[in-house]
Amino acid sequence: MNIIFRSWIFDFLYIMADQLIKEYNPCKIYKDAFEKIHCMNGSPCCSACGFLGPDGCTTKCLSCKLALCPAARDANEKLGEVLVKMRTIACRYGLAGVRMPREEILGPLRRRWHIHHDRSTTEELQKEMKALINTIGESIVQN
């Protein structure tokens, strides 16, 4: 599959997930008086990640944007469903890797991803993306 095509899919999913996370704040991230970061479940899942900086994530990691801990998922059921659909698309195109930045996901996998990219692949992805956008829209309207 064309690296530009995969890059576009990655960026689209990342931007959509980032907007949803910022809008709904499913983890309820906050800093206490001592500038220590907390979430609804105590310490955030990402607290031990090497990409975590003082103001949040310092890289574009799609897998992190598409994952919620069980507590956040239970508190945000509709958002969890949308993120699962997005994760399914990411996995199908080899764009999910735990705590792996965009460059690592797209770089090494170039050699392994030789899916024939033709009109039907593009049309199938377009249908999935339209369905995903409709799902996101419905979730937003319901909340």
In a domain, 96, yes or no: yes
In a domain, 67, yes or no: yes
User: Looking at 26-30, 37-41, 48-52, 110-114, which range is the least confident one?
Assistant: 110-114
In a domain, 69, yes or no: yes
pLDDT in tens, 4-20: 788 888 888 999 999 99
| pTM, full prediction | 0.74
pLDDT in tens, 84-99: 989 888 888 888 777 7
In a domain, 75, yes or no: yes
In a domain, 44, yes or no: no
Mean pLDDT of 91-111: 72
Q: Which sign, positive or negative, has the C-alpha torsion 115, 135, 11, 47?
A: negative
In a domain, 65, yes or no: yes
Domain of residue 86 covers: 3-24+60-138
Return contacts of 66-70, CB within 8 angstroms, 24+ apart.
66/13, 66/17, 66/90, 66/96, 68/26, 68/27, 69/27, 69/41, 69/45
In a domain, 40, yes or no: no
* Number of domain units in the chain: 1
In a domain, 110, yes or no: yes
Bridge partners (DSSP) listed for residue 91? none
